[in-house]
Chains A and B, each alone.
Chain A
Amino acid sequence: MTRSRLALALVCAAFAGGLLFAGATLSQSATEAPPQDAAGRADGGLSVEQLLARTTPPNTPNRDQVERGRQLVIAGDCAACHTKAGGAPFAGSRPIRTPFGVIYSPNITSDHMKHWSADQFYRALHRGLDDDGHHLYPAFPYTYFVHVTRADSDAMLAYLRTTPAVAAKRPANALPFPLNIRGVLVVWNALFFHPKPLQTPAGKSAAWARGQYLVEGPGHCGACHTPKNMLGADETSKAYQGGVLDNWEAPNLTADARTGLGAWSVDDIVEYLKTGRNARAQAGGPMAEVVSASTSMLPDPDLRAIAVYLKDRPAAAPNAGGDPDRAAMARGEAIWQDTCSACHLQSGEGQARFFPPMRGNQGVQQGDPTNVVRVILEGVRTAPTPTRPTPLSMPSYAWKLTDREIADVATYVRNAWGNKAAPVGADKVASLRRKLDLIRPPLSSWSKVDQR
Chain B
Amino acid sequence: MATKLPEVDILLVGFGWTSAIMAQELAETGLSILALERSAWRDTPADMAPTFDQDELRYYWRQHLFQNVSHDTLTIRNNTSQTALPMRRLGSFLLGTGVGGAGVHWNGQIWRFLPSDFLAKSHNAQRYGPQSVTQYDMTVQDWGVTYEELEPHYDTFDKLCGTAGKAGNLRGQIQPGGNPFEGPRQNEFPAPPLPMTYAPTLFAKAASEVGYHPFPHPAGNMSQPYQNPLGAQLGQCTYCGFCEKFACGNYSKATPQTTLFPSLFTKPNFTLKTGAEVLKINLDSNGKRAVSVTYVDGEGREWEQPAGAILLGAYILHNVRLLLLSGIGKPYNPQTGEGVVGKNYAYQITSSVHVFYDDKILNPFIGAGALGMVVDDFNGDNFDHSGKGFIGGGYIALLTTNGRPVEWYAGSHIVPKDTPNWGPKWKAAVAKNYLKSATLATHGAVMSHRGNYLDLDPTYRDIYGRPMLRMTFDYTDNEHKMSDFLTDRATDIAKAMRPREFRANPRKGSWSVVPYQTTHNTGGAIMGATPQDSVVNTYMQSWDVPNLFVMGAGAFPQNPGYNPTATVAALTYRAAAAIKSQYLKAPGALVQA
Residues on A lying within 8 angstroms of B by beta carbon are: 37, 41, 44-45, 339, 342-343, 351, 353-355, 379, 381, 384, 386-397, 399-400
Q: Which residues of A contact B51 (CB under 8 A)?
A: 339, 395-397, 399-400
Q: How far is the CA of A209 from the CA of B88 in the complex (A)?
A: 71
A345 to chain B, nearest CB (A): 10
Q: Are A354 and B225 in contact (CB under 8 A)?
A: yes
Q: Which residues of A contact B263 (CB under 8 A)?
A: 389
Residue from A41, A386, A387, A390 having most chain B Cβ neighbours under 10 A: A390
Q: Are A390 and B262 in contact (CB under 8 A)?
A: yes
Q: How far is the CA of A41 from the CA of B266 in the complex (A)?
A: 9
Q: How far is the CA of A327 from the CA of B408 in the complex (A)?
A: 38
Q: Which of B52, B235, B262 contacts A354 (CB 8 A)?
A: B235
Give 5 A-B contacts (CB < 8 Å), ordered by A residue: A44-B268, A342-B240, A384-B266, A390-B251, A396-B51
Q: Are A395 and B249 in contact (CB under 8 A)?
A: yes
Q: Which residues of A contact B45 (CB under 8 A)?
A: 379, 381, 393-396
Q: How far is the CA of A391 from the CA of B258 in the complex (A)?
A: 10
Residue from B46, B51, B238, B240 having most chain A Cβ neighbours under 10 A: B51
Dominant SS among interface residues on chain B = loop
Indicate with 1 or 0, residue by residue over B222-250, a CB within 8 angstroms of chain A CB atoms: 00010100111101101010000000011
Q: CB-nearest residue of chain B relative to A379?
A: B45
Q: Are B230 and A389 in contact (CB under 8 A)?
A: yes
* Known A354-B251, A397-B51; contact A390-B231, beta-carbon cutoff 8 A: yes
B257 to chain A, nearest CB (A): 10
Dominant SS among interface residues on chain A = loop
Q: Are A388 and B50 in contact (CB under 8 A)?
A: no
In residues 187-238 of chain B, which contact A (Cβ within 8 Å)?
Answer: 225, 227, 230-233, 235-236, 238
Q: Are A37 and B46 in contact (CB under 8 A)?
A: no
Q: How far is the CA of A355 from the CA of B50 in the complex (A)?
A: 13
In residues 121-178 of chain B, which contact A (Cβ within 8 Å)?
Answer: none
* Known A41-B268, A389-B266; contact A395-B233, beta-carbon cutoff 8 A: no
Q: Which residues of B contact A354 (CB under 8 A)?
A: 225, 233, 235, 251
Q: Are B235 and A351 in contact (CB under 8 A)?
A: yes
Q: How far is the CA of A433 from the CA of B115 in the complex (A)?
A: 59
Residues on B lying within 8 angstroms of A by beta carbon are: 44-46, 49-52, 225, 227, 230-233, 235-236, 238, 240, 249-251, 258, 262-263, 265-266, 268
Residue from A41, A339, A388, A395 having most chain B Cβ neighbours under 10 A: A395
B237 to chain A, nearest CB (A): 11
Which 7 residue pairs of A and B lie closest in terms of their CB atoms, listed nearest first? A395-B49, A393-B45, A389-B262, A390-B233, A390-B262, A354-B235, A389-B231
Q: Which of B49, B231, B240 contacts A388 (CB 8 A)?
A: B231
Q: Which residues of B contact A386 (CB under 8 A)?
A: 231, 266
Q: Are A392 and B233 in contact (CB under 8 A)?
A: yes
Q: Which residues of A contact B46 (CB under 8 A)?
A: 379, 395-396
Q: Which residues of B contact A387 (CB under 8 A)?
A: 231
A328 to chain B, nearest CB (A): 21
Q: How far is the CA of A384 from the CA of B230 in the complex (A)?
A: 13
Q: Which residues of B contact A45 (CB under 8 A)?
A: 268
Q: Are A400 and B251 in contact (CB under 8 A)?
A: no
Q: Are A388 and B225 in contact (CB under 8 A)?
A: no
Q: Which residues of B contact A397 (CB under 8 A)?
A: 51
Q: Which residues of B contact A379 (CB under 8 A)?
A: 45-46, 49
B144 to chain A, nearest CB (A): 37
Q: Which residues of A contact B232 (CB under 8 A)?
A: 389-390
Q: Which residues of B contact A355 (CB under 8 A)?
A: 235
Q: Are B50 and A395 in contact (CB under 8 A)?
A: yes
Q: Which of B49, B50, B240, B251 contacts A392 (CB 8 A)?
A: B251
Q: How far is the CA of A274 from the CA of B236 in the complex (A)?
A: 23
Q: Which residues of A contact B233 (CB under 8 A)?
A: 353-354, 388, 390, 392
Q: How far is the CA of A384 from the CA of B44 in the complex (A)?
A: 14
* Known A354-B233, A390-B251, A393-B45; contact A384-B225, beta-carbon cutoff 8 A: no
Q: Which residues of A contact B262 (CB under 8 A)?
A: 384, 389-391
Q: CB-nearest residue of chain A relative to B257?
A: A390
Q: With A343-B235, A389-B266 given, can you name 12 additional A-B contacts, CB distance below 8 Å?
A: A37-B266, A342-B250, A343-B250, A351-B236, A353-B233, A381-B45, A384-B266, A388-B233, A394-B45, A395-B46, A395-B249, A396-B45
